[in-house]
Copies of this chain bind each other. A is one copy, B any other.
Amino acid sequence: MEDQLSTTFAALADPTRRAILAKLSLGETSVTELARPFEMSMPAITKHLKVLEKAGLISRSREAQWRPCKLEAAPLEEVAGWVEDYRRFWAESFDRLDIYLAKIQAEGKKGKDSTKRKH
C-alpha cells in the first residue's frame, strides 16, 4: 500500500542501512563481508538487507553462489528529484545570510568610523 518514495525514505531512516549502502557504493559485496564492520548479529544484518531490498535500494544476485549484494540507485534518483524542488529554499537562506553578514560588516565599519571621529 505504501508509495515508493515513503518506502525509500523509511528504508533510509537508519544509520546502519545508510552505512550498508555506502559500503555497497564501493562494489558488490557478500553478506558476510557487509556484516563485518557492524557489531551486529547476522539476523540483524539480514533484517536490514531485507528492508533495503524491499525498497529496491539493493538487489542480490542469483547467479553467483555467494549471492553478492548490489546497490540499486533508481530509488535514490527519485529522492534527489523530490528534494531538488526545495533547493531554492536553502539557496534563499544563504542569500539572506549573505545580506545579513554584509549589513553587520557595514555597521561594524560605520561603528569604527564614528569611533575614529570621536578621537
Q: How many residues of A contact B (CB 8 A)?
A: 31
Q: Does A25 contact B (CB under 8 A)?
A: yes
Flag the segment in A33-41, A73-81, A98-106, A108-116 that touches B.
A73-81
Query: How far is the CB of A23 from the nearest CB of chain B, in Å?
Result: 13
For residue A77, which residues in chain B have a CB less than 8 angstroms away from its CB?
90
A63 at the interface (CB under 8 A from B): no
A residues with a Cβ closer than 8 A to B are 3, 5-7, 9-10, 12-15, 18, 21-22, 25, 71, 73-74, 76-77, 79-80, 82-87, 89-90, 92-93
Name 18 A/B residue pairs within 8 A (Cβ), A-sorted.
Answer: A5-B15, A6-B14, A6-B15, A9-B9, A9-B12, A10-B10, A18-B82, A21-B86, A22-B85, A25-B89, A71-B86, A73-B92, A74-B90, A76-B83, A76-B89, A77-B90, A79-B79, A80-B84
